[in-house]
Structure 1
Amino acid sequence: MIYRSKAPLRIGLAGGGTDVSPYSDLYGGAILNATISLYARASIEPLTENKVIFESADRRESLSYDAVYPLPLDGKLDILKGVVNRIFKDYGAFPSGFRLTTYVDAPPGSGLGTSSTLVVGVVGAFAEWLKLPLGEYDLAHLAYSIEREDLQQAGGKQDQYAATFGGVNFMEFYAGDKVIVNPLRIKDVYLHELENNLVLFYTSTSRLSSSIISEQQKNVTDKNDDSIAAMHHLKEQAVMMKEALLRGTIDKIGEILDYGFEQKKKMAKGISNSQLDEIYEAARKAGASGGKISGAGGGGFMIFYCPKNTRFAVVDALNKFGGDVKRYHFTNNGVQTWSI
């Protein structure tokens, strides 16, 4: 038998950064995101030999260990080993050795939640194999705990919940790791229009989000008024985005994105840079009414809202920067698992 999973990546539309502690613990956070047809995939193949083999197909890396736990965290595919170690710790010995193969449809550091989505996918594959009793909130929180507590990787909470639940969600974040996922019932015509008008552009650069997030966290701890005020505004932006989607005032989304991007740049240094600003201005001149950097910032993907039929001129303008316009569709499903 082979046990498989796929978990969707996400586009963060509003509120990004307010899911990060300590801001969410002190003030409560709110984010609106939507999953798309790019995935993190995982497959587990039980082995007769007592080995653990990792194959990261997209990164072209492979590792092999004797099945002695915990596996060493040495900077090589630690995110996969972190999941294995936690599953062993919480649920006991594995039935056999195994080969874990993974693939992500977007590069690491791209701002679409790749690392967290991969953790969700891998946990999902183990849940399929071992028949683990994990509901949606349980799976998302376990994935969050592995990343933030076991592996000590800085970041927020939205990605794990987006990948687990799927669809368009308005999420609320509170102290004590409390998360409330509110699925939004958006009319198909509004989603079709948003998908048609929202251009997803990979800048061909990646970034280490943890450094930006760490500065954001320090700004809250140090009571940096400008940074905290910006986060308050981003939380308001999430509500504005929710209302625009539910009411069908889709062409307001560009303005809402632009407002949020200006606020986001105030949260920490390095969220934007001269290259990203140049790309943003070129898209605006070509007809985009607004946009943002996906994820923590500093590189990776950007999104642009292009009203009417301006997307074609915007894509032409973006092509001059040597990046890649990525085609996608919005998806309704979160992590899915099966065996064959």
Structure 2
Amino acid sequence: MMYRSKAPLRIGLAGGGTDVSPYADLYHGAVLNATLSLFAYASIEPLHESHIELYAADRGQHLSLSCVAEHPVDGELQLLKGVYNRIVKDFTHQPLSFRLTTYVDAPPGSGLGTSSTLVVAIVGAFAEWLKLPLGEYDIARLAYEIERHDLGMAGGRQDQYAATFGGVNFMEFYADEKVIVNPLRIRQHYLDELENNLLLYHTATSRLSSIIIEEQKRNVMQKNTASIEAMHQLKEQAILMKEALLKGRIDEIGEILDFGFQHKRRMASGISNPQLDEIYETAKKAGATGGKISGAGGGGFMILYCPGNTRYRVMEALKPFGGSFHKYQFVQQGLTTWSI
């Protein structure tokens, strides 16, 4: 038997960063995101021999491990080892023997939630194999705890829930790591127009999101007024974005994105840089009305809103920067698991 899963990557449309503690604990956060036709995949094949094989096919990394209950999570493939350790600790209470193969449609550091989505996919594959009684909130919370608590990786809370639930969601974040996911019922032709006008552009750079997130956290703890006020504005941006999508005021989205872009740069120093600013300004001169750097910032993907038929002028204007545009569709389905 083979036990498989896939979970969608996401773009954050508004409110990004307000899902990170301690801001979310002190002030409550709000994010609006949407999942894309780019996925993280996981496949588990049980083995009769007493050993473990881990293979990240997209990165060409392979590990053969002994069949024990816990493996150190330093070094290569720590996400894969971290999920295994937690599954054994919480559910099986004894070692497992298997081959785990993973693949992600976007590179690490892309800003599309790749790490968290991969963790969700791996948890889903184990849940399919072991018939674990886990609902959507359970899987998202478990993935969050593995990444943030067990592995100590800095980040927010939105990615695990987006990957698990799928679709367009308005998410709320509270103290004690409480998350509420509100799925939005958006008319299909509104989504079609958004999909047509919203370009997904890879800047040919990557970034280490943990550095940006740690600075953002310090700014809140040190009561940096400018940074905290910027986060308040981004939370307001999420509300504005929700209203525009639900009411079909699609061409307002560029302005709402631009509003967020200006405020997000005040959250932490590494969110933008001269190269990203130049890309953004070039896109606006060519007809884009707004956009944002996906994820924590610093590099990876950008989204650019191009009303009418300006998308073609924007694509031409950005050619000299050496990046690439990626086709996508919005998807409603979140984590999916199956057996063969």
Matching residue of 2:145: 145
* 2:162 aligned residue: 162
* Aligned-partner SS, 2:318: helix
1:102 aligns with 2:105: no
Residues of 2 paired with 1:96 and 1:27: CA distance?
42
Displacement of 1:96 = 4.4
- What residue is the counterpart of 1:32 in the other structure? 32
Distance 1:331 1:318 in 2: 27
Residues 69 and 96 in structure 2, CA contact (< 8 A), matched pair in contact too: no
* Cross-structure match for 1:311: 311
Q: CA RMSD in A?
A: 0.8
CA contact (8 A) 2:34 2:162 kept: yes
Mapped to 1, the partners of 2:185 and 2:33 lie a distance apart of: 13
Residue correspondences, number = 340
Identify the residue that residue 222 of structure 1 maps to in structure 2: 222
Asked if 2 retains the 8 angstrom alpha-carbon contact of 1:291 and 1:305, the reply is: yes
- Unaligned runs of at least 5 residues, structure 2: none
Secondary structure of 1:126's counterpart equals: helix
The 1-side partners of 2:135 and 2:319 are apart by 43
What residue is the counterpart of 2:82 in the other structure?
82
User: Does the 8 Å CA contact 1:205/1:300 hold for their aligned counterparts?
Assistant: yes
State the 1:22 CA deviation.
0.4
Describe the SS at the equivalent of 1:307.
coil
Matched, 1:270 2:276: no
Q: Percent identity?
A: 71
Deviation at 1:132, TM superposition (A): 0.4
Question: Given the two structures, how large is their TM-score scaled by the length of structure 1?
Answer: 0.99
Give the C-alpha shift of residue 221 in structure 1: 0.3
Question: 1:92 & 1:305 partners in 2: Cα distance?
Answer: 47
Equivalent position of 1:11 in the other structure: 11
2:116 matched residue in structure 1:
116
Deviation, structure 1 residue 48: 1.1
Alpha-carbon displacement from aligned partner over 1:5-27 (angstroms, at most 9, x marks no partner): 00000010000000000000000
Aligned residue for 1:329? 329
Q: Find out whether 1:286 has 2:286 as its counterpart.
A: yes
TM-score (norm 2): 0.99
Q: Deviations over 1:53-87 (max 9, x none)?
A: 10000010000101112112222110110000000
Q: Which has the larger displacement, 318-327 or 212-221?
A: 318-327
Q: Is the 8 A contact 1:203 1:324 kept in 2?
A: yes
Counterpart amino acid of residue 76 in structure 1: E
SS at match of 1:199: strand
In the alignment, structure 1 residue 212 sits paired with structure 2 residue 212? yes
CA distance in 1, matches of 2:318, 2:81: 38
User: Is 1:200 aligned to residue 195 of structure 2?
Assistant: no
Kept in 2, the 8 Å contact 1:49–1:96? The answer is no
In the TM superposition, what are the counterparts of 1:31-50 in structure 2 within 5 Å?
31-50=31-50
User: What is the letter of the counterpart of residue 189 of structure 1?
Assistant: H
The 2-side partners of 1:156 and 1:241 are apart by 20
Q: What is the CA distance between 1:317 and its match in structure 2?
A: 1.3
Given that 1:48 and 1:96 are in contact with CA atoms closer than 8 Å, whether structure 2 keeps it comes out as no
CA–CA separation in structure 1 for the residues paired with 2:151 and 2:215: 19
User: Which has the larger displacement, 86-95 or 183-192?
Assistant: 86-95
Contact 1:25 1:174 in 2 (8 A): yes
Q: Which amino acid aligns with 2:176?
A: G
